[in-house]
Amino acid sequence: MKTSIIILVLLAWGVISTPSVYGVELADTMKMFNLDEVTVASSRTNSPLKNLPQRVEVITQEQIGSLPSDNLAEVLKRTANLDVVQYPGVAATVGIRGFSPTAHSRSYTLTLINGLPAGSTNLATVIPSGVERIEIVKGPYSTLYGTDAMGGVINIITQGLPERLSGDVEVEGGSFGYYRASLFAGGAVANNLRAGIGATTIRQGDDYKIGKHNLLHMSDKDKYILDEASYGDRMHNTTFDMSNVRALAEWQVSDRWKASAEAMFTFSNDIEVRGNYWGTYGQTKKEFNRLNLYGTLERKVASHTLTVRPYYTREKEPNYSDNSSVGFVNFESDISEYGLRMQDQFRLNRFTLLSGIDLGVYDYQSDRFEARGVPTAPYKPDNRNSSAAVFAHAAYHSGNLDVNAGVRFDHLRYQIDANEALNALESKATHNVLTPSLGLQYRLGGHSRLHASYGRAFSVPEADKTSGTFDVSVYFPEWDYWWTQSYVGNPQLKPEKSGTFDLGWRYSDANNGLSADITYFNTRHSDRIVEFTLESGAISFRNADRSLMDGLELDLRYNFGTLFGSRFILEGYASCTWLFHDHYTLTLSAASGADSIVKRRLEYVRKVNGTFGVFFRNEAGISARLSARYIGERFELDNFGTLRPGILPEDHATEGGYAVSDNILKHPDYLVFDLSLSYALGRHLDLGCSITNLLDENFSEKDGYPMQGRQFRVRVGYKF
């Protein structure tokens, strides 16, 4: 109640203190509300958002800056209704439209930086400093980007360089020993040459506390799932640090030629990893470092643009046996991605024609040790995936009609290295995949549009699912117990495929402050790779299932400031994804030889995800955002039965196609609020504060991993 009163007082003060007459500055400010004019880079044609039939959401720089977010995962879950799963220990994955966020390590969602591979699927290691906006393409985009774009694409657009030398510095501190500092400076350094450099460091020096309350109703079983002892408890071994250094340069070689380069180095020397709440996996730590190198050479002549873009990323992540000074590296992965993307774009009246060639290599290597300097079998063999693709894309824009269509052919070669410790032989596989897409949009008149699209996508199987026989062993120190599981790869696995159709209605009018979109989507996912148990007890893999995910995406925004002569912005917004169906079919083999087909709800997928809130800003320099996210119920395998004696066998789910013997728990839903306030003192100084998890909700995004409770932060920024 006290918090609500404070918010209302601040908003009322902002309205009263707002000048009654504004000049050009207010008009420029209000343009930020009209996202239709944003040029969407993920389309590869740099088309305006209003001309794209595909479902695209844009997270603006203002949204990113108004929320207390340290990494890309936190930005996404506070601004977009996606299935984000975050763990303590700087780890997070994302799912879109029913594709599981924990499907497999390379994910069904493709993450890009300026249209090139980000070099990591762990969204918690991507620091949002220096980000201009984030584009989220919902639905398949394999026609333009190839594998791993089945659920959609997340494209991070970094800030460019200003014309004049300028910069900013920002410092933030808060509870749990938190601090963040960032600095950027850049601009013209010579004729036709601009350059810049920036750095960010983030640290949480104290273990965080788990929330104490639940806003929504919780049954006794729900509280047992969270463990009643966790309420207000300290989550030990959860400190971390991360840093990022970014450098970029742009050279206008001539009227026709432009070259640019960007380098990013992100690293951490001490990330504590608690594992689950009960600490049964032991308390460990890890490090990581990732190098991203991107280049662009562009030639523009009238309506013709040729672009060549090389890239290289490398991420190394050492994991330690424990978090003591005598701990040793017991596992280290080393993943490289490199390649070249070339495209030629030609504009002719209302047509845009795009064609290109994409070449890429994904190289995975790892080492595992049972003692310092004593190697043991890794979790999967070293492997590499090389791809060569050609694509063509055409777009047509008229007064009332927008059409785009594309086709892509990918030739993929998969090589798995021999590994004696895993009993894995060298193997090679080749896949040829053709993916088409089509999008239509028709303006009904006024500000309404109907839009529809269809696209196919694919994802190649990973090495651990196609290689030979191997065992994985994990030691549980608290129990002094070694758990061992045998796996048998299936070299006959085919790529997973999907086809998605969506149909929607869109309305957007910046003058009256209203925008809305309602979209129905339907995805058929075939050749889905699933696990099954052999008679020997070993686990293998097969293309056995089909999945159906369909539902509605709703988005509504209204600027109440237009009712007061646009003297301020007071935007209310709400969006959600609601799945009607999220199930897969599974073929079970009986001892009699008769197969049976069962239908089950997808695990780890939330039936409903939603975000809503209110944003206020005026020209007196005051801004505030109260945001909330709804985390819907989900099904997960109960892996911690012995640690939660309050949960009885009959508490396991008997809906969604599951039986008590399947040991599936239905997790409750949660509602999490965040609040941020800021005040600009002139053109240079900015003060702010924020409260994350405002109501101190005890919640989890993955079973056994309770998230951080309420945290306070204060911030000071200066522009020069």
- Percent of the chain at pLDDT > 70 equals 90
For residue 30, what pLDDT is reported? 40
Extract the tokens encoding 153: 């694409």
Answer yes or no: are the C-beta atoms of 158 and 115 closer than 8 Å: no
Residue 645 dihedral angles phi and psi, to the nearest 5°: -65, -15
* 125 domain-assigned: yes
* 660 domain-assigned: no
Answer yes or no: are the C-beta atoms of 555 and 517 closer than 8 Å: yes
* 369 domain-assigned: yes
Distance CA 266, CA 703 (A): 29
Q: SS3 for 278-319, per residue? A: CCCCCCEEEEEEEEEEEEEEEEEECCEEEEEEEEEEEEEEEE
Extract the tokens encoding 401: 């009609």
* Look-up of token digits 């030990």: 236
* 655 domain-assigned: no
For residue 593, what pLDDT is reported? 58
* 267 domain-assigned: yes
Ramachandran category for residue 254: left, alpha or beta (phi over 0 → left; psi -120 to 50 → alpha): beta
Instruction: List, for the chain, all residue ranges whose pLDDT scores fall below the cut of 50.
Output: 1-32, 103
Q: In sequence order, what are the residues at sequence separation of 6 or more whose Cβ sits closer than 8 angstroms to the Cβ of residue 553?
A: 55, 81, 97, 138, 504, 517, 518, 519, 521, 575, 576, 577, 578
Distance CA 184, CA 178 (A): 21
Task: Indicate the DSSP class of residue 603.
Answer: T
User: Distance of alpha carbon 704 from its chain centroid, rounded?
Assistant: 21
pLDDT digits (tens, 9 = 90+) for 456-500: 988 888 777 776 666 665 555 555 556 677 777 787 888 888 999
Residue 29 dihedral angles phi and psi, to the nearest 5°: -65, -45
pLDDT digits (tens, 9 = 90+) for 206-237: 999 999 999 999 999 999 999 999 999 999 99
Residue 667's closest CA among 601, 613, 610? 601
For residue 66, what pLDDT is reported? 87
For residue 8, what pLDDT is reported? 40
* 211 domain-assigned: yes
For residue 102, what pLDDT is reported? 66
For residue 523, what pLDDT is reported? 94
Q: Three-state DSSP class for 650?
A: helix
Residue 355's closest CA among 432, 407, 294? 407
Question: Residue 37, class by beta-carbon neighbours within 10 Å (0-12 exposed, 13-18 middle, 19+ buried)?
Answer: exposed
* Prediction pTM value: 0.90
pLDDT digits (tens, 9 = 90+) for 64-117: 988 888 899 999 999 988 888 888 889 999 989 988 886 455 678 889 999 999
CATH assignment of the domain containing 369: 2.40.170.20
**How far, in Å, are 127, 205, 242, 328, 561 from residue 70 at the CA level?**
6, 15, 10, 29, 30
Domain total for the chain? 1
**How far, in Å, are 178, 291, 625, 635 from residue 675 at the CA level?**
17, 34, 6, 30
Ramachandran category for residue 447: left, alpha or beta (phi over 0 → left; psi -120 to 50 → alpha): alpha
Range of the domain at 576: 2-633+668-719
For residue 376, what pLDDT is reported? 87
Extract the tokens encoding 346: 């030609």
For residue 105, what pLDDT is reported? 52
For residue 320, what pLDDT is reported? 93
* 40 domain-assigned: yes
For residue 337, what pLDDT is reported? 96
**How far, in Å, are 527, 586, 587, 594, 626 from residue 597 at the CA level?**
15, 6, 4, 10, 47
* 339 domain-assigned: yes
Strands (E), 17-96: 39-40, 47-48, 55-60, 83-87, 91-95
